[in-house]
Structure 1
Amino acid sequence: ISAIGSGGFGTVFKVEHRLNKRIYAVKRVRYEDEKNKSFALREVKTLSKLCSIFVVKYYHSWHECNHIYIQMEFCSQTFGTILKDKNQVFGRQSSEPMNRYEYYICCEILRVLLECLQYLHELTPPVIHRDLKPNNILIPSNNSFIKLGDFGLATDQERNDMSHTPGVGTPGYVAPEGFHGKYTIISDIYSLAMIALQLFDLYDMYV
C-alpha cells in the first residue's frame, strides 16, 4: 500500500494480502554484497526464533532480485511518535511537571519495556537488541501494548566472546562500551535508561 519507514538496512512497507485482505508490514532489504546479505539473514534468524507478546510477530521471508523480504505483524505507530505528542496529550507544557496520572502511565510503560528486554535477555543464548530506541519500539494496530521491532542489528551474546562490530546502533542510545565493540545485555539496559530519561522529561534527545 505504502512505504512507512526506512533506514540504513532497508525500507518497510504497509501491504495488504490479496486473498485474506489482512494488513502486514514487509521489510525489503537490498544486499549488494555478502556482508549486507548476512545482516539480513541474521535478522530473519533472530525473528524466527522469537515468540512473545513483547516482540513483533514474524510470518515469512523470501529472496527476490538481490532483496530479502521479511513479512511481519503491522504496527500502526512507534513509541517515538508517542514521546513527541505526550505533552500535548496530557495538556501541559514541557516546563510543567507531570501530574499523578501521567506519572503512573509512564511507570507502566517503563515496566513493560523492562519486561520486553527481560524476555530477550533470558533466552539461551541471550539476545542483545543493540539498537533500542523509541522508533524501534512499536505499537500494534489493534492497540495492544508495546512490542520491540527492527532486529537488524541484534545478535546473540556468546558466553566467551563479547567482541562485536564497534559503533553499532544509534548515537545517543549506544552504551559507551559499544563504541569499542564490547556489547552485552547491559548495553540494552543503557539504551533503555536513555529512553526512560526522555519518557520522564529528564532529557531531550533533540536539544
Structure 2
Amino acid sequence: MKNKSLEKSIIAAKYKINYLLGQGGIATTYAAENLETKEQVAIKVLSLGNLNNWKNLELFEREAKILAQLNHAAIPQYIDYFQEDTEDTRNFYLVQQLASGKPLSEWIDRKWRPEETEVKELAIQLLEILVYLQQLTPPIIHRDIKPQNIIRQADGTVFLVDFGAVQDVDHHTVTGGSTVVGTFGYMAPEQFRGKASLGTDLYGLGTTLLYLLTRQEPDRLPQKNLKINFRSYVYLEKDFANWLDKIIEPAAEDRLTSAEEALAVLKGEKKLTFLGIKKNQSKKARRGAIASVTKRKSQLIIEIPGAWNYSSSCQFIVSLVTTYNLIWLLIFVIVIKSGLLQIAGFNLLLLGLIPLFCFLLGLGTLVYFYQLAFLNLKIKLDEKFLRVEKSAKLLNYRNLSHKEHINNLKRVRITHIGEPIFKNIWTTCSVETAYIIVHFGLFLSRKEQQWLVTEILNFSDFILLAE
C-alpha cells in the first residue's frame, strides 16, 4: 500500500509540506517549511498502516535515535521526531535540515561526467564522513551507501543522507543477527547474511564511485571470481585503481579495515600493501604496535606482551598498588607485634582487622594488575575453538586459561571500565562468550585496541560492538 500523499498539508501545526523528495520501501520523504522559523526541512514519514513488519518501525526509530547523536557538517542536522494520529492510521515523522543539492544519481541522469580527480575528491569527502561515524562510541555503520543517498551541491560539496539502514552496536548480536538491509549492487556480500563490519561501508563507497566512473549500475559490470572487474570498463590511474580494487573486495577480511585507513591510502599518507605472504599464513604488525596478529588460512592469533614492558601507566599502577599493600601489611604486623590485640576490647580487635581487610582488598587488585604486567597473553581463534593462553617465559609458565567452542562467541567490542571515575579514560578490548568475558589490551592505545577488535571481527565476520 502506497503512503498517502501529504503534499501541501500542515503537520503538527508547524510544518508545511511543499513537495515530494523521494519514496522509499517503507517511508516517504518530503521537503517542508518550518512555519515558525521559515527553515527548510526534510520530513521522513512512516505510516503505521503501511507496515508489514514491526522491524521497519524499529529501524525508523533507530534512525531517529542515532541521528539525534550526530553532529557533522555533511550530515543534515536532526531536528525532531514525533508521531501523530490521523482518522485511519498513525504516522511517525523524522525531521532534519534539508540538504540542498541533488543526489549523485540525478547528476548522472543530467549528463554529469565527473573526471577521475573529481571522483577522488568526492571519495575523500565521503571517507571523512565515514571516519567520523566509525570513530564514535559505538561506531556507526550506514549500510546503504549509494548514489541516491549522497547529495551533491554545484560546488562539489556532498552530504550523506538516509540513515534508515544504519546499525549501531546496541542492535547486533551473533546469535540474533541483524536485519538484511541495503541496496542490491551496492551491498557488501556480508550484508546478505545480516552481517556488517567497518569495511561494509567501504564496499558501498567503492561501488558508488564505480557508478560515477562508468555510469553503469555495479551489478551490470563484468565480474571475475565474484568480484567486479571494472578495469576492462574504465581506465584509471594505477594507484587509484588499486585502491578501488581493495575496497570492493567481496571478502570483508580482504578489504581495507576502516575508513581511516582507506582515507590515508587515498591521500598517499599510507602505502597500499599487497602482502607478499605464503598462501596460508600472514603476520601483521602495525608500525609502533605492541601486539602482533598472525593469520593463517583458518586461524587468527593475537599476542600481547606483559604491559610492564611497554606501559609507564602500568608500571605506575603496579608500583602504587604494591606500595599500598605493603603499607597495610606493615601496619597489620605492627599491630600484631605490639601486643595490643591481647588487651580485651572490641574496638582494639577492629583496630587489628581494619589493616588486614584493607590488605586483602588490595591483594585482589594487585594480582589482577600483576597478571596484566608480567604475563603474556595469546588469543587463538579457529573454525572450532576460542583459546586464551597466559605465559611467562622467565618462570617457564604457560596456562590455557580458557577454551570454548567458537559458536559460543556472542560479541566483540571495546568497553569502558572503571565507571564512573575513569569511564572516559580506561578502555579495554573484550570478547564475550556464552560463559565468560575475556578482557585484554587495557594498556594499549585506543587505535591499537580498535585494530585488534577489527581483526577479530573481520576474521569472525561479526560487527564491532562497544559501549
Q: Do they fold alike, i.e. is TM over 0.5?
A: yes
Is residue 2:46 matched to residue 1:29?
Answer: yes
Higher relative contact order (CA 8 A, sep 6+): 1
Q: Which residue identity lines up with residue 92 of structure 2 in the other structure?
A: I
Note the C-alpha offset of 1:143. 5.9
User: Using the alignment, how far apart are the partners of 1:144 and 1:193 within structure 2?
Assistant: 18
> 2: distance between equivalents of 1:174 and 1:89?
24
Which residue does the alignment assign to 1:40? Answer: 60
Amino acid paired to 1:200: L
Residue 63 (str. 1) matches residue 83 (str. 2): yes
Specify the SS of the correspondent of 1:49: coil
Would you say 1:78 and 2:103 are equivalent positions? yes
1:20-69, Cα deviation, whole Å (9 max, x unpaired): 32211111112346433222110100100111012121111111122211
Cα distance in structure 1, aligned partners of 2:169 and 2:45:
26
The residue that corresponds to 1:182 in the other structure is 195
Residue 197, structure 1, aligned to residue 197, structure 2: no
How far apart, in 2, do the equivalents of 1:166 and 1:25 lie? 25
Q: Which residue of 1 aligns with 2:377?
A: none
Aligned to 1:13: 30
| Equivalent residues in 2 for 1:126-165, closer than 5 Å | 126-139=139-152, 145-157=157-169, 161=173, 164-165=177-178
Q: Distance in 1 between matches of 2:179 and 2:189?
A: 10
Distance in 2 separating the partners of 1:15 and 1:54: 20
1:122 CA drift (Å): 1.2
The TM-score normalised by the length of structure 1 is 0.82
Q: Cα deviations across residues 88-115 of structure 1 (Å, max 9, x unaligned)?
A: 345xxxxxxx7xxx22222111111111
Q: Distance in 2 between matches of 1:89 and 1:204?
A: 13
Cα distance, 1:144 vs structure 2: 7.2
Tell me the SS of whatever aligns to 1:125: coil
Paired residues of 1:2 and 1:14 also in contact (CA < 8 A): yes
Q: Is the 8 Å Cα contact of residues 127 and 154 (structure 1) preserved in structure 2?
A: yes
TM-aligned CA distance change 1:172 to 1:149, over 3 Å? same
The number of residues matched between the two structures is 192
Which residue does 2:74 correspond to in 1?
A: 54
**Partner amino acid, structure 2, of 1:205:** E
| Residue of structure 1 in register with 2:462 after alignment | none
Identity within the alignment, %: 31
Name the CA distance, whole Å, in 1 between partners of 2:41 and 2:156: 16
Question: Is the 2:122–2:156 Cα contact (8 Å) retained in structure 1?
Answer: no
* Cα separation, partners in 2 of 1:198 and 1:108, compared to 1, 3 Å: same
Measured at CA, do residues 144 and 83 of structure 1 come closer, stay the same or move farther in structure 2, by a change above 3 Å? closer
Structure having the higher Rg: 2
Gaps of 5+ in 1: 91-97
Structure 1 residues 89 and 78 mapped into 2: Cα distance closer, same or farther (>3 Å)?
closer
Q: Read off the aligned partner of 2:23 and give its amino acid letter.
A: S
Query: What is the CA-CA distance between 1:166 and the residue it aligns to?
Result: 5.1
| Aligned mates of 1:106, 1:115 — CA distance in 2 | 14
Q: Which moved further from structure 2: 142-151 or 58-67?
A: 142-151
Shift in alpha-carbon separation, 1:173–1:152, aligned structure 2, 3 A: same
Tell me how large the CA RMSD over aligned residues is: 2.4
Letter of the 2:95 counterpart:
Q
Conservation of the 8 A alpha-carbon contact between 2:79 and 2:97: yes
Distance in 2, matches of 1:103 and 1:175, equals: 23
